[in-house]
Amino acid sequence: MTVTLADVAARARVSPATVSRVLNGNYPVASSTRERVLRAVDDLDYVLNGPASSLAAATSDLVGILVNDIADPFFGIMAGAAQSEIGGPGDGSGRAGGEKLAVVCNTGGSPERELTYLTLLQRQRAAAVVLTGGALEDPAHQAAMAVKLAKLADAGTRIVFCGRPPLPGTDAVVAALAFDNRGGARRITEHLIALGHRRIGYVAGPVERTTTRHRLEGHREAMKAAGLYGDEESVTVHGPYDRRSGYDATLELLRREPDVTAVVAANDTVALGACAAVRERGLRIPEDISVAGFDDLPFSVDAVPALTTVRLPLFEAGARAGRLAMGKETPPPGGIATIGAELMERGSTAPPRLD
């Protein structure tokens, strides 16, 4: 049975006109009402169809790129590279294989917004969806995502994960480019251990993110292999992937464990905050405390001293995701490719001071 606009309105407890306003985006609607309508659209799997619609084709010329924070260079670099492949070059005809309209959807890290954007892209019969960055490790959200992605794939939408592993139950419907976060974290910690550091603090990202867990696991694998495992919780502080978190978490870490000689940060932005906290304590980098990051964002080499970090090929990964979304490149064997991480040794790490 075909789901109608009236069915969505009844489910959302609003008028059909309100549903139309939400879906067309041409009239202001309260955010709570908008979310209720979009939830009803999702629950009923409502998709606009019929010859009167410009969306009657199996897919449109629209491609969605989902990011947690477009202001974060980690996401901006990948999204920009993907968009460059999606938007051209083409033949100018608008036919499949030509240019597509790439729309960047900023979720703000909200699982609800992630699902909402996928619902909107499904309604628009998007040709492809690229999901960037780490995934939320919540079973209910993962199950909802798997269902939504399966619906998109069934309708002919290409699904590409960039910088994140496939969610449980999505292996058959996605192409995934997963960063070697464990391996990269292991290498940077091994670098510090080889310099002579034994008390190494770790400023981690949010507990619920796959990227956080994988990088922390790699760090702890290196510590355990060196016989430095046992009190890992006391030298680990979690927080958001931003500079303020790096600053606050490093001050907390130095308060708890004043004898640490090195700090590994969850990413380069967090590392900048860590550096500020170290200096505020009157300590020098790297003479008193070494600081290392992750990602090799563009500002890392210009920090003073230049930041030792792990390079992820963000632009290359984003461009490849764009080609996969456009069908310009064959998906990797088994649907999953692991993208390596490279240690970039710079001036912010050195052997610990001998007292």
pLDDT at 34 over 90: no
Residue 219: burial class (beta carbons within 10 Å; 0-12, 13-18, 19+): buried
Please name every residue paired with 343 in a beta bridge, in sequence order, or none if there are none: 310
Q: What is the pLDDT of residue 50?
A: 38
Report how far residue 109's alpha carbon sits from residue 245's, in angstroms, rounded to the nearest whole number: 16
CA atoms of 83 and 102, how far apart (whole Å): 6
> If residue 86 lies in a helix (H) or strand (E), which one and from where to where?
helix 73-86
- The strand ranges marked E within 43-143 are 62-67, 101-106, 128-132
Dihedral of the CA atoms 306, 309, 311, 315 (nearest 10)?
-60
Backbone phi, psi, residue 201, to 5°? -85, 155
What pLDDT band is residue 54 in, cutting at 50, 70 and 90?
Answer: very low
| Domains along the sequence of the chain with CATH | 1-46 (1.10.260.40), 181-312 (3.40.50.2300)
235-283: pLDDT as tens digits: 999 999 999 999 999 999 999 999 999 999 999 999 999 999 999 999 9
Give this prediction's pTM.
0.83
- Tokens linked to 64: 């969605």
Phi-psi region of 257 (alpha: psi -120 to 50; beta: other; left: phi over 0): beta
For 143-154, how does the pLDDT look when each residue is reduced to its tens digit (9 = 90+)?
999 999 998 998
* pLDDT(191) > 70: yes
